[in-house]
A and B are shown apart, each in its own frame.
Chain A
Amino acid sequence: MDYRIEVEDLNVYFDELHILKDVSLKIRKNMVTALIGPSGCGKSTFIRTLNRMNDLIDTFKMDGTVLLDREDIYDPKVDVVELRKRVGMVFQKPNPFPKSVFDNVAYGLKVHGESDKDVLNEKVEESLKAAALWDEVKEKLDKSAMGLSGGQQQRLCIARTIAVEPEVILMDEPCSALDPISTTKIEDLIHRLKKDYTIIIVTHNMQQATRVSKHTAFFLHGEIIESGPTDKIFIEPCDKRTEDYITGRFG
């Protein structure tokens, strides 16, 4: 089996707080993996470990290995900037830059040295089309992204992420701030993107996990209780705690 990401015995601490405890998880290529679990169980910390966003927090400490395409991303020789180009991220709250729609999508390309106007135009259009946003914004590429609706902003953030052609897209509850129609659009988009990208999505919505993912991992108190094919987790979970959570008995 081809794995994109292999995490083994990952422990994460913020100061004295032990957030992730001996977490091991293998994530397959070009497939959607959902991470479920109650708030504060470490799902977000886990995905932020995968693109080293936790490095921004002074008190962050970790041990264990995180391999991306069999390379240790916490190796001192690794260029974090290069890593984040390969592992993109979509956040919980839509966070477009206070710039125009075009500049938002072109931003990643520009910081990586692309300055050719034609290439930029082409890539921006391509990315916006891939994010199913082109038809809605093609008339207002030079307008501020802050004027778009929440759902459009989130799709813009996805377009911005795929513009730099990452291998992996991390999504941290991308629909939690959106209405049901926008949520459906994002989910459709995830279905279309999964053939080209490895997607890891954190969600609090059980239905969403079953709708979009092939694999699911259930987090509780910083540990992975159970992981496997989504069908199996939701139909016949092995662990009592998983069953309790997905049937809504706690969390």
Chain B
Amino acid sequence: MSLRRFIAVRVAATVPILFGVSVLTFALVHLTPGDPIDQMVALNPQISAAEEAAIRARYGLDGPVWQQYLTWMGNVLQGDLGTVISVDQPVLPYIMARLPETIALGLFGWAIALLIAIPAGIYAAVNKDTLGDDLSRVFALSGISLPNFWLGLMLILVFALWLDLWPVLAPDKPLLSADMLWYLVLPGVTIGTASSATLMRVMRSSMAEELNKEYVTAARAKGLPERTVVLKHVLRNSLISVTTIAAFLTASIFAGAVVVEQVFAWPGLGRAFVGAIVGREVDLIMAITLFTGVTIILANLLADIMYAVLDPRIRYD
């Protein structure tokens, strides 16, 4: 099977998964007693029962759950993701307005994770059982053990309040302004720390495992410089397993965004999601969940392709 066909099959296979995700989420959210209309009514007692019913009908919130799902699905297929009821705005532009902030945050976190993890992992594996290896181990364990929201709070405490290098909360500016990009460092580091720790451990152990293989001795026996042995022969083999983990980190980076955006008041999708949960914004919850699902599936697909590029033994049949 060619790689192109493999990708096509894999993409096709994601359709039922996304369908399952949407059904599961829809079912969960609609099991909940209470919706935004209830809150609206509670705030405005003068709304009559007839008016309430009319509002529900307008947002498609009348009728049994399966019917609501079908309506929702039909709308989605036509590109209508529904409405954010509290601000009476369509979901799609609402998400689009916040998406760049989250992508910027995620990419920054990713970049930090890779930039720290790969060199540190190589260093630790090559210098196994030295002080540097021990230090990197301490860093990795701490990074994994640090709750990201607490790390964020501590960074604000130290760098914003005590050292006064950053403002305490994200400035209310467009993303591509100097202030915002400068501020991005704090949440970016927060979100990247755990990922970089995880990735570094994987990098170190996979590198250490490869270093013990005989082809490494064979490469040394050819008289190649140690640098070539490590960076050419060992690294490419180690990256094979690291790629998968790096793809899985996409999920954890997104989950991290939910919390970290809250800490730093970063105006992204994660913060919108928490708001949607609190306000029971059904359409918004559905849209963000599906969007995340697609992202994760795409990341895993990318990992598979990377795998094929790095490892000639893999054939898709």
A binds B: no
